[in-house]
Structure 1
Amino acid sequence: MTDQAVPPLLSAEVSWRCEPGVNEAYVWLSDGTIAGHRDLLTGTDHLADPAYSDLLTRVLADWLAREGASCPPAVEPLPWVPEGRGILGWLGRRRARREYARQLTAYRDHRLDHPAWKAPTDPPHAGWRDLVRNEAGQALWEHAATLPKPGLLDAAGRREQRAWTTGALGEETVAKQLWQVARPGAWRVLHSVPVGNRGSDLDHVLVGPGGVFTVNTKSHRGANVWVGPNTFMVNGQRHPYLRNSRHEAARAAKLLEAAVGTPVAVRPMVVLVDPRSVNRAKAPDDVAVVTRMELVRWASRLPTVLTPEQVDAVFAAARRSTTWVTPERRRGR
């Protein structure tokens, strides 16, 4: 291989290993072979073949500029107490305590903002894509980009473009609140989860001690919402949100059960973005209907139904792209 150039049609992908004392980035080719990896602690490259040197350097430079992959330190910072007597010694110790408190806060914030579950772990040769890479609203933004630019008098075209971009912005808004649920560490969240082969996707999937939820985001800013056992009305107009959410949850439960090997209860959920009012006096028990600002409090009040081990097992299956493909298609039928 050393005398041959890298095949021009192969693309490269990076997986990251971030653990206490370990920070390594691996470069994989699209044909399933590894080009090498870099120890980000020492800056040392380990190549599968010298011919991949330029490729590894270029791919990792782009990836590091985009991701900024810095692992937290293996241990918390230790306090440093300067010596000294009198007023100068007291001032020095006071400054040291303040600096230590600042470093400790920064360290703990970093650990919360960079949990291990958010690091993509899939090499291409594994046959699946890690869905933690997906951004909220990704499918909607991609579709909006394919729409022709509406003309000055094309009111219908502007309405269609506005509908897609409003939906995408709504999913991004809800994703920020879902991150507040997941940030303390017990919950996990995925966005824009593709299901099947017809372009369908789940806005969000939330997994935690309170259960597994498929989250359907709906942007109705300033609207009046009324929810009944089987009816969802926005400003007096019916919408099939309850039916669609139930269908999504039932489909997700079947796919997750097939991947995990045990039954997985999935509850549907509708999250509203900034409505004027929500009447849930007759809301169904099987579909959670909340506003985005209620998400954190809602999650904190849920009873515990999954152990940490069960959360990890379900999320490990949920983050694999192959989980959301029907078994028939997975076998190539």
Structure 2
Amino acid sequence: MSSTLTVRRWRRFGADRLVVTEDTGERVGWIDLRSGQITVDRPTGEAALRLAAQEYLRADVSELVLPVVRGPRDAFDELVADEISTARPGAHSRQDESLGARLERLVPSGWLVLHDVPVGLQGGLLDHLLIGPGGVYTIRSYAHPGSAACLSRTGIVIDGRPTHYLRDAQLEQSRVEELLRNSAGVVVEVRAVIVLDAVILATPVRPEAALVTVRDDVPDVFRRVPPRLAATKVEAIRAAAGRRSTWTV
């Protein structure tokens, strides 16, 4: 089954990186153009990440879309780069654009939406951060089109295979909570959100560590949350989130 990789250059908060994503929106990884550091989201993705970055640098464009042939064992066994097309400047992959656009619908209601926030000095990247009257949320998406997701209080199983999604969400939530609290000088409670591109099977229980939902329920899932933060606290947290120094500790 054929697919594509999207390579885009990300410059913000003093960072300069090449970010590579699948057409599903799932990130393959990124390369720090200043230090040369390579960060992959899966061990089998490094070869595709390197090749995609090389093609991007050779092409000298704002963004590349590279055709990929997916094998049965690994999504990046074969990268076909002989047909390269440029995407419109600022474009994102289909899944990222869809989720990001859905979150942006909350802005008129007083929410702040940040995307691709670098966290810490070790190359961490926060996909989406949502701050508003209904609280503070870290949001990460995972693409498993056509797969079945079974939820329990302590885990997420995709097609019978356990994942580390809840553990990773907890670690990210705790880190963001600490950084925002230290910068804003107020108590900050962050809720982790996992957005799945999959069929979530009906179960009597849901994970306690994170809110798990599907992309089609965004942004309505946040609109249903009653206001819980005072306007002054929201502004303090928003201001902290917008400071580069908050995230580079």
What range is the shorter-chain TM-score in? 0.5 to 0.7
Whole-Å Cα distance in 2 between the matches of residues 298 and 254 of structure 1?
25
Equivalent of residue 308 in structure 1, options 224, 231, 245: 231
Aligned length: 190
Structure 1 130/279 Cα, relative in aligned 2: closer, same or farther at 3 Å?
farther
1:175 aligns with 2:100: yes
Q: CA deviation at 1:153?
A: 9.4
**Contact kept? 1:181, 1:295, Cα under 8 Å:** no
Could you tell me how far 1:307 is from its partner in structure 2? 2.0
Mapped to 2, the partners of 1:216 and 1:281 lie a distance apart of 23
State TM-score, norm by structure 1.
0.50
For 1:89-100, list aligned pairs within 5 A: none
Cα distance in 2 for residues equivalent to 1:221 and 1:148: 25
Note closer, same or farther for the CA distance 1:250–1:222 as it changes in structure 2 (3 Å cut). same
Over 3 Å counting, the alpha-carbon distance change for 1:263 and 1:168 in structure 2 is farther
CA distance in 2, matches of 1:243, 1:265: 17
Of the two structures, which has the highest relative contact order with CA contacts closer than 8 Å and spacing of 6 or more?
A: 2
Give the conservation status (yes or no) of the 8 Å contact 2:166–2:209: no
Give the corresponding residue for 2:6.
none
Q: Percentage identity across aligned positions?
A: 29
Conservation of the 8 A alpha-carbon contact between 2:111 and 2:133: yes
Contact 1:214 1:249 (C-alpha < 8 Å) held by counterparts: yes
Q: Which runs of 5+ in 1 are unaligned?
A: 1-127, 327-333
Query: How much has 1:285 moved relative to structure 2?
Result: 3.4
Q: Deviations over 1:124-174 (max 9, x none)?
A: xxxx9399xxx9969757558852169x99955834869xxxx95433321
Preserved contact between residue 135 and residue 190 of structure 2 (Cα < 8 Å): yes
Change (3 A) 1:147 1:301: same
Which consecutive unaligned segments of at least 5 residues does structure 2 have?
Answer: 1-11, 32-45, 53-65, 81-91
1:194, distance to aligned residue in structure 2 (A):
0.8
Secondary structure at the aligned position of 1:192 is classed as strand
- Partners of 1:279 and 1:161 in 2: CA distance: 37
**Structure 1 counterpart of 2:159, one-letter code:** N
TM-score (norm 2): 0.65
The alpha-carbon deviation at position 310 of structure 1 amounts to 1.8
CA distance in 1, matches of 2:182, 2:220: 32
Q: Deviations over 1:5-29 (max 9, x none)?
A: xxxxxxxxxxxxxxxxxxxxxxxxx
Distance 1:175 1:280, change over 3 A: farther
Kindly indicate whether the alpha-carbon contact (under 8 Å) linking 1:186 and 1:208 is maintained by their aligned counterparts in 2: yes
**Structure 2 counterpart of 1:229:** 153
**Which is greater in Rg?**
1
- Tell me how far 1:294 sits from its aligned partner: 0.6
Letter in 2 for 1:158: F
**What is the Cα-based RMSD across aligned positions, in Å?**
3.5
CA distance in 2, matches of 1:153, 1:288: 33
Aligned-residue offset at 1:317: 0.9
C-alpha displacement of 1:197? 1.6
| Larger fraction in helix | 1
Asked if 1:158 corresponds to 2:76, the answer is yes
Counterpart residue type for residue 309 of structure 1: T
The question of 1:148 aligning with 2:46 is answered: no
